[in-house]
């Protein structure tokens, strides 16, 4: 997947974009991720520092860009079911929903699917020889080809306003 936009080489630029979208200066995010200085943050964003999963996860937590934590899991292969984040779910797509209203019942049902799907995949791997990493890679490639991969933060803002 050499032409995959989701690769470790692109992660520093993604981190910079997320920081800027969160409205944080380099010195601010440096303080929030553990007392790092502006120079350290600059080195991270320019690809001069070695990225660790812990650093990336903390960075995305501080910026409240949680979908990017899934990206970290995928890029560092931290979990066998990790794949690139995809899809958009907009409240405006649901008739009868007021802006800002969270359909908690629906969200809970969706959230319940996460452990259920993982359990199914683990079971298929054990009982039927499913190759989880191969499935995740194929699924990610298909999501990119079908253009359902998670949109950039700026694109999501434009859609949800």
User: What is the pTM for the complete model shown?
Assistant: 0.65
Asked if 19 and 63 touch (Cβ cutoff 8 Å), the reply is: yes
CATH fit for domain 8-160, picks 1.10.260.40, 2.40.50.140, 4.10.1240.10, 3.40.640.10:
1.10.260.40
Cα–Cα distance between 69 and 134 in angstroms, integer? 21
The reported pLDDT for the residue numbered 89 is: 42
Can you tell me whether residue 112 is helix, strand or coil?
helix
Summarize pLDDT for 93-151 with one digit per residue, the tens: 444 445 567 788 888 888 888 888 888 888 898 899 999 889 988 888 888 788 776 65
Looking at residues 39-66, what average pLDDT do you find? Answer: 96
Looking at residues 29-52, what average pLDDT do you find? Answer: 97
Domain residue extents for the chain: 8-160
Summarize pLDDT for 60-103 with one digit per residue, the tens: 999 988 888 888 998 999 988 887 776 444 444 444 445 567 78
Nearest one of 143, 118, 129 to 1, comparing CA atoms: 143
């Amino acid at each position: 997947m050499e032409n995959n936009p989701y690769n470790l080489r692109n992660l520093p630029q993604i981190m910079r974009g997320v920081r800027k979208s969160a409205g944080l200066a380099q010195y601010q995010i440096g303080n929030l991720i553990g007392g790092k200085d502006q120079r350290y943050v600059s080195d991270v964003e320019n690809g001069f520092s070695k990225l660790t999963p812990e650093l990336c996860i903390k960075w995305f937590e501080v910026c409240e860009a949680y979908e990017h934590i899934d990206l970290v899991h995928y890029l560092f292969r931290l979990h066998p079911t990790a794949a690139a984040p995809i899809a958009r779910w907009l409240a405006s797509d649901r008739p009868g929903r007021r802006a800002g209203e969270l359909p908690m019942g629906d969200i809970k049902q969706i959230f319940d699917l996460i452990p259920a799907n993982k359990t199914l995949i683990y079971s298929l791997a054990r009982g039927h020889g499913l190759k989880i990493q191969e499935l995740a890679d194929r699924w990610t490639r298909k999501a990119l080809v079908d253009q359902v991969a998670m949109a950039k933060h700026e694109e999501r803002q434009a859609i949800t306003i």
